[in-house]
Structure 1
Amino acid sequence: MSVETQCGDRDGDPAASPLKYFGSEVRLEREQLGWTRKELGKEAHCGYSLVAKIESGERVPGLDFARTCDRVFPHANGRFERLWPLALRLAFPPWFRRYAELEWKATVVRMFHPQLLPGLVQTPDYARAILRTARPTNLDDLVTARMERQRILVRQRPTKLRLVVNEGVLTATAGNAAVMRAQLAHLRELACVPAHRVQIVADKGHHHGYPSPFGLLSFDEGADVVHVDGFPRGFLLAEPDDVAKASEAYDLLTAMACSPDESADLIDSIAKDHYS
């Protein structure tokens, strides 16, 4: 049993975890202000039920919720946004938390996936369809955490995305046609952002030899690191030889893939032919 699990057994204890502490602070500030959960939910653009679950430590809050708390509670002084990363962290599997911290600091993210669109570019409905297949008990939190990761692509100094995926990723339906139409439209929008690059490896009947998803993170300071996805967990590599091999593999994949402009056209074609 982990330390966090042991702490989490203390029902009602606001110090049991960062998530429970966050929720307890929201409840105390709300009650001191004399607001109902419905009133707070209206300000945060969410329902009574979500406010109740956040206050009880049952749901992970989004950053917008934390910022709303800082805005409406007179004595918050930015406290909820400061607490938010600790609360969000609990939505990630323990083995993924270090990667999520590094991803948040990265200036460039290079990713390859042969079977799925990676979480960093998924829509909420696509993410829900993919995550639901594992039958998790915390599906809503997993989706929230996945969407919050994507803030790195749209912040004031956005992380630059370099994405390569197989064409089959776009033709394999997750959810239904409507989910895929929205997902491909989102991917197409990302492909048009000057800071980002989206490239598709067209299906020409030949396997390129890279069966595993992997990515590289680059930073303003410090060496690159590699993340290799897998079952039952992924892992980080920082050895220079491993990083060099991953970088070379990624360069080869981009050479095999369609150009960014060709890839954008291919996304449009697949959306029309498969999901219209």
Structure 2
Amino acid sequence: MVHNTELDPSASPLDYYGAELRRLRQSADLTQAELGGCLFCTGSLVGQIETARRVPTRDFSERADAVLDTDGHFSRLVSLVLRSQLPHWFQAYAEMEARAAFISTYQAQVVYGLLQTEAYARAVLGTDRPENLNDLVAARLDRQRILTREHPPAVWVILDEGALYREVGSRDIMRAQLAHLLSFREHQWAQVQVLPFSTGQHCATRGSFNLLRFDDDPDLFYAESYDVAHMTANPQVIRERSVSYARLQAAALSVEDSAALIARVMEERYGDHPGALAGGVA
């Protein structure tokens, strides 16, 4: 990535963003300090973004569009920039996820990324102490924008009961995260089911996986292990995993019973006065 004065706009989305910000700022006859004043930030920050040393936020991009009258140019571009901050092995999936019409996911360990709160995402992503943690969190939150767009995908999440008890970050973070899951009871296109411990062995004991369905493209299966991702449109794999997912749905609690369990765990394990659930789980 180029960090000198003259950027190569083709080097990366971040370099292109920086080059465009400089070009349009200069066209508006503004210094970095003057633009920073209009954007309620420092001229130094503007300079760091222009030279691809800092990743812009969505808020910065929206304000830049307003000040420079760019008709949403930076607001559109920042999604590409944030996506480029994701691990390289995940970027192809993120691009397909953004285009999917239907997303089905089983999550064995943690809450599905599209349904995570910022604090929960920060705790999950921070386990490896990455230097670009803020950028990774911003990229994950930006992925969630597909849930609020004009035509969102239908999202069906099956969450293993263990994920409700695994304390990520802190009790306060978990309480807020479970409350966030409950908020999807009112969401037209996103539903959450819990696969209870009582299910015992099941067809997804090998781990989490996602199925993506598109309006005009073949379905995709996605799974990952550590820093390796597997994505395929192989019809036989799609058929087998689709049947597996249907079996998981049949074994999971109903949407209503799942919400009741989430609410109970939220109060008894992560409330002000943890009760029997807190002592009953290793």
Q: Indicate the TM-score class for this superposition, using the shorter chain for normalisation.
A: 0.7 to 0.9
Measure the CA separation in 1 of the matches of 2:43 and 2:184: 33
The unaligned stretches of length 5 or more in structure 2 are 272-282
Q: Tell me the equivalent position of 1:256.
A: 251
Matched, 1:107 2:101: yes
Larger deviation, residues 15-24 vs 118-127: 15-24
Measure the CA separation in 1 of the matches of 2:148 and 2:140: 14
The aligned length equals 264
Q: How does 1:22-101 map to 2 (within 5 A)?
A: 22-30=17-25, 32-33=29-30, 35-41=34-40, 53-74=48-69, 76-101=70-95
8 Å CA contact 1:66, 1:81 repeated in 2: yes
Query: Per-residue CA shift, 1:65-107, capped at 9, x if unaligned?
Result: 3233222203x24332343343223211122111111111111
Q: 1:266 to 1:38 in 2, by over 3 A?
A: farther
Q: How does 1:136-151 map to 2 (within 5 A)?
A: 136-151=130-145
Larger Rg: 2
Measure the CA separation in 2 of the matches of 1:219 and 1:252: 22
Q: 1:58 to 1:264 in 2, by over 3 A?
A: farther
8 Å CA contact 2:154, 2:190 repeated in 1: yes
Q: 1:241 to 1:49 in 2, by over 3 A?
A: farther
Alignment equivalent of 2:182, drawn from 177, 184, 188: 188
CA RMSD of aligned residues (A): 2.2
Tell me the secondary structure at the aligned position of residue 240 of structure 2. Answer: helix
Q: Percent identity?
A: 38
Q: Tell me the equivalent position of 2:155.
A: 161
Q: Give the deviation of 1:196 after TM superposition.
A: 1.6
Q: Tell me the equivalent position of 2:215.
A: 220
Measure the CA separation in 2 of the matches of 1:246 and 1:224: 11
Measure the CA separation in 2 of the matches of 1:125 and 1:53: 26
Measure the CA separation in 1 of the matches of 2:15 and 2:6: 7
Q: 1:65 to 1:10 in 2, by over 3 A?
A: closer
Letter in 1 for 2:148: V
The unaligned stretches of length 5 or more in structure 1 are 1-7
TM-score normalized by the length of structure 1: 0.87
Q: 1:124 to 1:200 in 2, by over 3 A?
A: same
Q: 1:182 to 1:52 in 2, by over 3 A?
A: farther
Letter in 2 for 1:236: M
Measure the CA separation in 2 of the matches of 1:180 and 1:48: 38
Measure the CA separation in 2 of the matches of 1:66 and 1:111: 31
Measure the CA separation in 2 of the matches of 1:17 and 1:98: 15
Matched, 1:118 2:75: no
TM-score normalized by the length of structure 2: 0.85
